[in-house]
Structure 1
Amino acid sequence: MPEPQPALRPHYPVRTPRLSLRPLTTGDVDALVAYRSLPHVCRYVPFEPMTEQVVRDRLRTIWANSDLTDEGQALTLGVTITRSGRLIGDVVLFWHSRTHGGGEIGYVLHPDVQGLGYATEAARALLGLGFDGLGLHRIVARIDERNTASAQVARRLGMRQEARLVRNEFFKGEWSTELDFAMLADEWPAHRERDGGRRG
């Protein structure tokens, strides 16, 4: 099995047909709070509604990376509409294992741009960074079953649902059922350009 590259140092911005992905900055605080503070946005994801101070703290710490140099790290990038420069969300690529070539993606967008295909477009760029840039063997997405929009994104990306873990985690005061999706490196070329920039 080919080993992952020693590091991922993308050239920014990472461009898609409509979007630009880039490291987050302190100038993004208001835009991040605008959606990460909303209870319904946070309902099925592993963080609580964020205050401005929490966002600022994360920008100084876990969101400060602009590359991946070893397993156990995460790369969080802001998603902007190229034409307007508006920050509409963020995506994250986790590098879980060098030995097994394992990674994971996550994505969260402002609710007023949902349904326009932006999440799929941004997440596809993230798969490209993981497979083409870092040389990962396998990338997963773990989604609360009730988060149907997020599950639809994984399916549009071409990720395969491999598991449904029934009431496997006590999450935010209740049992949740997890859907596990995955894609392998040799499956990625067939999905690299699929639906790029299209609505849905």
Structure 2
Amino acid sequence: MPDILRAALIPTDRFTLEPLGVHHAADMVSVLAGTAIYQYIGGQAPTAEELEKRYAAQSIGSSPDGREAWLNWIIREQGRSIGFVQATVETDGATSDVAWVVGEAFQGRGAATEAARAMVTWLRHQQPPVRITASIHPENTASASVARHLGLTPTGRFDEDGEEYWEDSPPTGA
């Protein structure tokens, strides 16, 4: 079995993507406290205790069976948490499913696009996946815009939650 890919610090022009740790839960409670965030992704704002449990599980870095690397980063702007990006990478490198969430107070400034682009670029330099994918609610125009900036296109296929699968074209030579 190949070594599991691990999240590393990723700088961008305006942000730092910091590998997720349980200690981020306290900061992220207020970032994720808005209600509009959950309009398309479902759920509700987590408590500090819920985030601590979630982050403890996610920061392990892989699925229990070892078939997926779980890569999670907190988006930080001048030391302040503003959201997160994540990737679930099949250990065979065939697919990397990506997602992003930016707190309501920090939306509309291109943070999700810049952070997601940095994550995808980093992924391609570490272990080039054949395909980058994302699942996006059909009415979530902001996430659709981020996906387009990443070079993803809608497939017309939907998951059980009604989200549409988006993907890029496999790199040539892959």
TM-score w.r.t. the length of structure 1 is: 0.74
- Report if the CA contact (8 A) 2:95-2:130 is conserved: yes
Matched letter for residue 25 of structure 1: G
Aligned to 2:143: 150
CA offsets per residue over residues 53-86 of structure 1, 9 Å max, x none? 10111222223439xxx532311111111xx211
Q: What are the residue-to-residue correspondences of 1:52-63 with 2, within 5 Å? A: 52-63=48-59
CA RMSD of aligned residues (A): 2.5
Does the CA contact (< 8 Å) of 2:68 and 2:89 recur in 1? yes
Q: What is the CA–CA distance in structure 2 between the aligned matches of 1:128 and 1:16, rounded to whole Å?
A: 11
CA separation in 2, counterparts of 1:6 and 1:96? 12
* Correspondence list, 1:1-200, <5 A: 6-10=3-7, 12-45=8-41, 47-65=43-61, 70-81=66-77, 84-96=78-90, 98=92, 101-165=94-158, 169=160, 171=161, 176=162, 178-186=163-171
Amino acid at match of 2:124: F
- State the shift of 1:29 in Å: 2.3
State TM-score, norm by structure 2. Answer: 0.83
SS at match of 1:136: coil
- Contact 1:78–1:89 under 8 Å retained in 2: yes
- SS of residue paired to 2:36: helix
Q: Which runs of 5+ in 2 are unaligned?
A: none
Identity %: 27
Residue by residue over 1:121-162, the C-alpha shift from the partner in whole angstroms, topping out at 9 and shown as x without a partner, is: 110111123222122110101101121111111012221222
Q: How many Å separate the matches in 1 of 2:124 and 2:106? A: 27
User: 1:191 matched to which residue of 2?
Assistant: none
Q: Answer yes or no: is the 8 Å Cα contact 1:105–1:139 preserved in 2.
A: yes
> How many residues are treated as equivalent by the alignment?
169
Given that 2:22 and 2:59 are in contact with CA atoms closer than 8 Å, whether structure 1 keeps it comes out as no
Structure 1 gaps of 5+ residues are 188-200
